[in-house]
Amino acid sequence: MYTGLQHLHSYLTYLVLLGLVISLVSALAGLFGNKPFTDKNRKTSLLGLIPAHLQWVFGLILYFVSPLGMANASGAAMKDSVSRLYILEHPLTMIIAVVLITVGYARAKRLGDDKKRFRSIAIFYGLGLILILSRIPWNAWPNN
């Protein structure tokens, strides 16, 4: 089960990154193109939100069943950069990224001005994407 969950979490990352890039590009195009924020734009922003939440759920489960996650937490593990990445840095950064993405989507739904809606998605999804890219364990990422 652990190996399957680990592979799912790794490969779902591609979907998360693709969804965030599509949502971000769409928001930037709407922002700089002075376009109206339509239902299509709202649904496009869901391409970034939904996979990020799914990834977070699978990552949370993986954190508690993985020997690299919670089971490895100790003072000595904090001195090792790889262990610290899996125990603290990766999970905490991903939680912050998912919260930012969620806030960006929620703000865009509430705001009345189209430009502000696009700006909310662009800023918050962009920050979330940067955080995600900064803490992906690239050395363990599956190669195709």
Q: What is the pLDDT of residues 85-123, one digit of tens each?
A: 888 899 999 999 999 999 999 999 999 899 999 999 999
Q: Write out the DSSP string of 99-131.
A: HHHHHHHHHHHH--SHHHHHHHHHHHHHHHHHH
Q: How far apart are CA 63 and CA 88, in angstroms?
A: 10
With residue 81 as reference, give the H or E element that holds it. helix 81-84
* The pTM of the whole model exceeds 0.85: yes
pLDDT digits (tens, 9 = 90+) for 35-85: 999 999 999 999 999 999 999 999 999 988 877 777 677 777 788 787 888
CA 68 remoteness from chain centre: 20
Amino acid (1-letter code) at residue 80: D
